[in-house]
Every structure is written in C-alpha cells, then in structure tokens.
A and B are shown apart, each in its own frame.
Chain A
Amino acid sequence: MTDAFKIWSYLSSQPLLWLCATLFAYWIGDALFVKSGRNPLVNAVLIAIVLLSLMLWATGTSYEKYFDGAQFVHFMLGPVTVCLAIPLQANLMAIRRALLPIAAALIAGSCAAVGSALGIAWLLGADHTLLATLSPKSATAPVAIGISQGLGGEPTLTAVMVIITGIVGAICVTPLLNLIGVRDWRARGFSVGVAAHGFGTARAFQVNETAGVFASIGMGLNAVLTAFLAPLFLRLFQ
C-alpha cells in the first residue's frame, strides 16, 4: 500500500483536488441556502469561501497552490460576463419604455455607490490600494474584479467586498424601501440591481417579477457605468 504522504504529495501537485473541493464547497453552500428557504443571510458563496478557507488552513495549503486548481472555475468569470448580454438584450424593450427614469437612476445610484464608498473609506484613513479595491464593489463580481485589477486594487479583496455588498443590499432593500415609501416595483428593482448586483437581483426576483427584470437591467448597465466612474472618482480621492 502506498503511504498517505505520497498520495497527498501527488494530490497537492495537481489541480484536481482543489477544483473538486471548490465545486463541492459551493454545492454544500447552495444546498444550505435552498434548505433555509432562500434566506439571503445564508449565502452559498460565503459558505463555500469559509469552508475552503478552513480546508486550506487545516492542510497548510497556500492560496497560490489552491488557485492552481480553482483557476478553471475562475476562468469562467469572463464568459459569464459576456452571457449577461442575454437578459440585458431580452429586456431592451422594457428599457426603452422607461429610458429617462432608468438613465437618471443609473447615474445617481452608481455615483452614490462609488462616491460614498470612497468618501467614507477615505475619511476613515484608507490608502490608495484600499480605495481602488472598494471603488467597483457595487458592480457584478466578474466586472468588479477586472476594474479593481486595472486600478491597482486587490482583486481578491474586491471579490469579498462585492459579496458583502450583495448580502447587505439583499437583506436591507425591502425594509429600507418600505420605510421611505417607494412603491414602484421598477424603481425598487432597478435601484437594488445597481447597488447590489446579482444578489440584489436574485432577491428582487423573489419579491416581484417586474422588480427582478428591472434589477437585472440595473445590474447590467451598472457593470458598464462603474468601469467609467470608478477611475474618475478614484482620482478625486488621491
């Protein structure tokens, strides 16, 4: 019988183990999310990240080693961004019918997200790298990671910011907009799509179909706008 050490040294030199672990960790996270009745607090991605981090820590594996395997999943961020064109194109008619409110809310919401995120972090003493890391956090993850990389931020930290933003938005959107009395489902969906990307969009679809469609429009448009706004606002806080 080959001893366990030899098997382990084989596995840790190959991408197989960590690719497999990534898929299983997400599967577990997603199963728990479904089981919780799709509670936005029980987030599949967050659960997967915690499980994998614990595994890396327990086995003394470096992030670089892990990424050798996980890069195959990571690669799909590019194609999945291109795929966002499909829901966006399908809703072009709905966009045309509410063109002005959409344009105004997009610009206002996106500026509010990027501007206030940078302003608050800057006031609390964040350095340039951290500001660049935070600036795209309302955009959908694949886009935010690309923007952060381009601006000299820390893409891995941006991914975590994006996820936390999504969770905060998904949890707070309904009570918050009830509080200020916004009843138009288009406005409710669109604003959470802009501010909290895919997580907000998924939440909007749970609450109301129209809200969901407008949230996906908001998410798609904000992905494009944030790519322009993040470098502009970043220059203000230097």
Chain B
Amino acid sequence: MLVPAFAIILLFQLVGEVISRALSLPLPGPVLGMVFMVIALSMFPKLGDMVTPIAQGILRYLALMFVPVGVGIVANIPTLEAHWLAISASVVVSTLFAIVVGALTFVFVARLTGSKADD
C-alpha cells in the first residue's frame, strides 16, 4: 500500500500547488494540500484507512526533513553575526509572549463559554 498512499499524498500536494499558483494565494501549495486532505478525509473515511499508516510513518521523521535547509546556516553566518541581537531577542521574547497570550486567552474564553476539559 506504500505506493498508492504516497501517490495520493503527492497528488494532494500537486493540486494544492497548482491552485495556489493559479490563484496566487498566500497559502503555500502543501498547506493548501493539507486543507484539502482534511476535507477529503472527513468525506471519505476509506481514504484515511489507506493513507494513515504511511502518513504516520512519514510524520515520525518530520524533524529530519528540515536538516538540509537548516545546514544552510553555514551560508548565512554573516547575517547572523550582523543581527544576532535582533534575531535572538525577537525569537526568544516572541515565543514566550505567544505562549502566555495563547494560554491566557484560551482559559479566559473557555471560562466565558463554559467549555470544560474532559479530564
């Protein structure tokens, strides 16, 4: 089932890519492919049986796939040296700020709407 499942996954990416470019959307093709896949999985549960085992296998190696781009840091050392303060302050502070804002908003709106956790 490896080839059919992989072919379907690639087809969704292809369709996403074509539509994203044809309509010049801000969403990258693969993200659009993901959105279509969510819709298709909801409409055709059989598709899930077919794609899920392969997809989960690929997802386990999600991290591996950004190694090649990450190594590109060797080509960007001058930029990092020139802007290290802006980059590190921006990355660290914005990440912590986003966690706090996201968590507090969730709790506040959950209380407001009476949405309770299951556990």
Show the binding face of A for B, using Cβ within 8 Å.
22-23, 25-26, 44-46, 48-49, 52-53, 56-57, 63, 66-67, 70-71, 73-74, 76-89, 92, 97-98, 100-102, 104-106, 108-110, 112-114, 116-118, 120-121, 124-126, 130, 134, 137-138, 140-143, 145-147, 150, 154-165, 168-169, 172-173, 176-177, 180, 182, 184-188, 190-192, 194-196, 198, 210, 218, 220, 223-224, 227-228, 231
Contact = CB atoms under 8 A, between A and B. Distances in A.
A161 B86 CA distance: 12
A93 to B, nearest CB: 11
B118 interface: yes
B119 A104 contact: no
B18 interface: no
A34 B70 CA distance: 21
A124 B91 CA distance: 12
Chain A interface helix/strand/loop/mixed? helix
A149 to B, nearest CB: 8
B46 interface: no
Contacts, number: 340
B31 A143 contact: yes
Interface residues of B, number: 78
A78 to B, nearest CB: 4
11 contacts: A22-B68, A46-B70, A49-B67, A63-B72, A73-B65, A74-B65, A82-B12, A86-B52, A159-B72, A210-B118, A224-B35
Contacts of A159: 66, 69-70, 72-73
A172 B97 CA distance: 11
Contacts of A81: 13, 28, 30-31, 33-34
Contacts of B37: 82, 85-86, 89
A191 to B, nearest CB: 3
Interface of B: 6, 9-10, 12-13, 16-17, 26-31, 33-35, 37-38, 41-42, 48, 51-52, 55-56, 58-59, 61-76, 79-80, 83, 85-110, 112-113, 115, 117-119
Which 7 A-B pairs have CB atoms at the shortest separation, nearest pair first? A156-B72, A109-B102, A146-B28, A191-B102, A85-B37, A70-B68, A113-B98
